[in-house]
């Protein structure tokens, strides 16, 4: 049975934090065999609509799970399997 795709949003302006967050999300999902659909949101006005107090911010499955730091792979894995 195919796993459902998990929606992931990465909220950040372009730069190193965005790049590293995206890299970790993709690598963790691949290692965990979790199908994901990633959307990157760069516009500060759109980011504010999600209620993220700091960037990079990560939304997984509609839930804001991380703000202000590039999350560690173990945390990402836990959020993907939650």
Q: Is the pLDDT of residue 1 over 80?
A: no
pLDDT tens column, 58-69: 999 999 999 999
Structural domains in the chain? 6-80 (3.40.30.10)
Average pLDDT, integer, range 11-19: 96
Q: Report CA-CA distances (Å) from 63 to 2, 15, 48, 80.
A: 23, 23, 15, 11
- CB contact at 8 A, 67 and 52: yes
Write down the pTM of the prediction.
0.93
């Amino acid at each position: 049975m195919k796993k459902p795709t998990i929606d992931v949003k990465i909220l950040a302006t372009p730069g190193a934090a965005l790049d590293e967050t995206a890299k970790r999300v993709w690598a963790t999902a691949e290692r965990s065999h979790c199908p994901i659909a990633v959307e990157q949101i760069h516009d500060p006005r759109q980011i504010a609509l999600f209620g993220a107090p700091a960037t990079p911010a990560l939304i997984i499955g509609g839930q804001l799970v991380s703000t202000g730091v590039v999350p560690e792979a173990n945390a990402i894995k836990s959020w993907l399997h939650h």
